[in-house]
Amino acid sequence: MLDTPNEQKTQLSELGEFALINRLTSSIELKNDSSLTGVGDDAAIIDHGKNETLISKDLLIEGVHFDLAYVPLKHLGYKAVVVNISDIYAMNGTPSQVLVGVAVSSRFPVEALDEIYEGMLLACKRYGVDLVGGDTTTSTSGLLLSVTAVGYVKKGEAVKRSGSAPTDLLVVTGDLGAAYMGLQVLEREKVAFKSNPNLQPELQGHEYVLERQLKPEARKDISDLLKSLKVKPSSMIDISDGLSSEIMHLCKGSSLGCTIYEDKIPMDPQMMRLAEEFGINPITAVLNGGEDYELLFTISIEDYDKIKHNPSLTAIGHITEDKPIQLVTKAGQAIELEAQGWTSFQEG
Site for a copy of itself in 193-232 (CB under 8 A): none
Main-chain dihedrals φ then ψ at residue 23, nearest 5 degrees = -60, -45
96 or 314: whose CB is closer to a copy of itself?
96
- Contacts of a copy of itself in 236-265 (CB under 8 A): none
Q: Which residues contact 321 (CB under 8 A, 6 or more apart)?
A: 166, 256, 257
7 or 305: whose CB is closer to a copy of itself?
7
27 or 228: whose CB is closer to a copy of itself?
27
Q: What pairs with residue 259 in β-bridges?
A: 318, 326
- Radius of gyration (Cα) for the chain, nearest Å? 21
* Beta carbon of residue 270, minimum distance to a copy of itself (angstroms, whole number): 25
8 or 198: whose CB is closer to a copy of itself?
8
* Beta carbon of residue 24, minimum distance to a copy of itself (angstroms, whole number): 5
Among positions 85, 88, 90, 103, the unique one binding a copy of itself when judged by CB under 8 A = 103
Q: Are 272 and 221 in contact (CB under 8 A)?
A: no
Q: Considering only 54-62, 224-232, 289-297, 307-315, which stretch makes contact with a copy of itself by CB under 8 A?
A: 54-62
Q: Considering only 98-106, 266-274, 286-294, 318-326, which stretch makes contact with a copy of itself by CB under 8 A?
A: 98-106
* Beta carbon of residue 1, minimum distance to a copy of itself (angstroms, whole number): 5
Measured CA distances, 268 to 191, 197, 212, 221, 243 (Å): 25, 31, 11, 20, 15
22 belongs to the binding site for a copy of itself (CB under 8 A): no
Query: How far apart are the C-alpha atoms of 142 and 102, rounded to whole Å?
Result: 11
Main-chain dihedrals φ then ψ at residue 334, nearest 5 degrees = -95, 120
Query: How far apart are the C-alpha atoms of 298 and 168, rounded to whole Å?
Result: 6
Q: Which residues contact 4 (CB under 8 A, 6 or more apart)?
A: none
67 belongs to the binding site for a copy of itself (CB under 8 A): no
305 belongs to the binding site for a copy of itself (CB under 8 A): no
Number of residues that bind a copy of itself (CB under 8 A): 97
* Beta carbon of residue 52, minimum distance to a copy of itself (angstroms, whole number): 8
* Beta carbon of residue 44, minimum distance to a copy of itself (angstroms, whole number): 4
- Letters for 130-169 (x = contact with a copy of itself by CB under 8 A, - = none) are xxxxxxxxxxxxx-x-x-x-x-x-----------------
Among positions 22, 105, 167, 333, the unique one binding a copy of itself when judged by CB under 8 A = 105
Q: What pairs with residue 335 in β-bridges?
A: 327
150 or 315: whose CB is closer to a copy of itself?
150
Measure the CA dihedral 31/34/39/44, to 10°. -170
> Taking the mean position of all CA atoms in its chain, how far away is CA 255?
22
Main-chain dihedrals φ then ψ at residue 215, nearest 5 degrees = -140, 65
* Beta carbon of residue 250, minimum distance to a copy of itself (angstroms, whole number): 18
